[in-house]
Amino acid sequence: SFVSSMPEIATHLQEHVGPDFVLSPDKGAIERASHVAKAIGCNFSYLEKTRIDAHTIEHKAKDLDVDGAIVAIVDDMISTGGTICKASDALRRQGAKAVHAACTHGLFTGGAITRLSNHVDGVHATDSLPNPRSVVSGAPAIARGVKDLIQRVL
C-alpha cells in the first residue's frame, strides 16, 4: 500500500504559506503537485528538466502564470537542494513573489539548508527524518497506511 504525506503537506502549506501555485520540479513528480494543488485549490505545473551533459541539468520553466504569486515547490525528497534552487531561480525570473519548498523526506545533505536559504523563502518537511525543517507530522500518513493494511488483512 502506498502512503503519502502530501495531504498533511497541503494542509500545512495552506495554513502557513497560502500558495497561489504549486510546482513539481520535474514531470515525474507531477502527481504530487496535482494532489497538493487540488487540496489547496490552486493551479499546478512542472519544470522541464533537460540534461545538458553528465553534470549539468537545465531547468526550464514553461511560461507559467506566476507573476506576483506565492509558489510552493513540492517533491518527495530534498537532498542537496540543487534542483529546488534552480527551480526557484526559474520561478523568480517569471515574477514569483515568494517561493517555498516542501518535501516528505528532508535529507538536506552537503550544506543544503544554507543553499536553500539563499534561494527560497521557506523550507517545509515532514518528520520522517530528523532535520531542522521538520514542521509537518508524518504520523497521520503512517496511521492511514497501517489502517489500510489491517483492513486488507482482516
User: Which member of 38, 49, 86, 147 is catalytic?
Assistant: 49
Q: How far apart are CA 147 and CA 144, in angstroms?
A: 5
62 carries an active-site annotation: no
Q: Are 21 and 72 in contact (CB under 8 A)?
A: yes
Give catalytic residue positions: 49
